[in-house]
Amino acid sequence: MTFNASSRLLISGATGSFGKAFIANLLSRYPEIRRVVVFSRDELKQWELQQIYPESRYPQLRFFLGDVRDQARLRRALERVDTVVHAAALKQVPAAEYNPFEFIRTNVLGAQNLIEACLDSGVERVVALSTDKAAAPVNLYGATKLCSDKLFIAANNFVGERQLRFSVVRYGNVMGSRGSVIPFFLERASTGVLPITDPRMTRFNISLQEGVEMVMWALEHARGGELLVPRIPSYRLTDVAEAIGPGCSKPITGIRPGEKIHEEMITASDSFSTVDLGRYYAILPTSGPSAPTAYCQATGATPVPEGFAYNSGSNPDVLSVEQIRELIRQHVDPAFQPV
């Protein structure tokens, strides 16, 4: 897909880490794009983004205060929009355990509000962001995102004659994003102590740019109904600590509520409806035009073996300590030096 002078796009949650990176990439690639609606509920973050993108230089940007909990506001924001990237979510695991229904309101009911508004407007493409925590979830955040994923995939059943397709992208920890372990360790390194929850713990790793590229790929290639998963490396939490603070003490504090030792993006139960696209896997509906057999015939994808699972602990692509350091310099802090 190539955006052009008639393209109109809305990004929900556009003032978050992903949204800002996506906007920068979009405007760099397609400066002629007609409209980009920045939809989010935080006026301070919108004001800060407006300082980076003043109206005099970026007249295509529209800053639209609103909440995905408010369907009427979404409908207004979606007028004459043809493409939607849904990044709005509450995502802090401990906050979800303490405030469960607030997460349900935003992550589940907000997703359905967006779906309903898209079905009643001229939107043609929707890509929603998910998380590895939605695969076999053990915390409420992951459970709400799994519900959201199911809603977006099922929405393809209701498009009728509309030129509208819904897809989802699922990926792991975004390097350098707010609340993730690398910024936490970078901040704590000066204290000489890097607490480790469990020495066996592993996580998937993806850069913001790779996340943006994946969404761009989905907007161009997704047929509707896919839950796309990238091939990305993993890291051991102990290696992240060693990369950042080799001279720091590393006490073991114990796993926190709602955490897994290893994250999953594809479970063995998903293997019967998962196909390999090369750069990405796609978990597909079990029936309909995007079912595995029809999808493979249309795209050239190949089914994964029965029992296949994609787990950060068994992933053969594991980052070394030096690779982690180089990625931190590349994506988080160019001046980074181990402590």
Q: Among the options 20, 91, 133, 260, which is catalytic?
A: 133
Quote the number of domains for the chain.
1
pLDDT, one tens digit per residue, over 144-155 is 999 999 999 999
In angstroms, rounded to a whole number, what is the distance separating the alpha carbons of residues 93 and 179?
10
pLDDT, one tens digit per residue, over 320-333 is 999 999 999 999 99
In a domain, 26, yes or no: yes
In angstroms, rounded to a whole number, what is the distance separating the alpha carbons of residues 14 and 51?
15
What is the arithmetic mean of pLDDT over 198-214? 95
In a domain, 339, yes or no: no
pLDDT bracket for residue 211 (50, 70, 90): very high
pLDDT bracket for residue 300 (50, 70, 90): very high
pLDDT of residue 39: 98
CATH of residue 153: 3.40.50.720
pLDDT of residue 177: 78
Residue of higher predicted confidence among 176 and 59: 59
In a domain, 264, yes or no: no
Known catalytic residue: 133? yes
Output the average pLDDT for the chain: 95
In a domain, 231, yes or no: no
Which range of residues forms the domain containing residue 94?
A: 8-170
pLDDT at position 264 over 80: yes
Q: Which residues pair with 38 in a beta bridge?
A: 11, 63
In a domain, 206, yes or no: no
Lowest model confidence (mean pLDDT) among 106-120, 164-178, 262-276: 164-178
Secondary structure letter of residue 132 according to DSSP:
G
In a domain, 21, yes or no: yes
Residue 101 has phi, psi (to 5 degrees) of -75, -25
In a domain, 59, yes or no: yes
Secondary structure letter of residue 60 according to DSSP:
T
In a domain, 281, yes or no: no
CA distances to 23, 27, 84 from 216, rounded to whole Å, are: 12, 13, 11
What is the arithmetic mean of pLDDT over 93-106? 95
pLDDT bracket for residue 1 (50, 70, 90): low
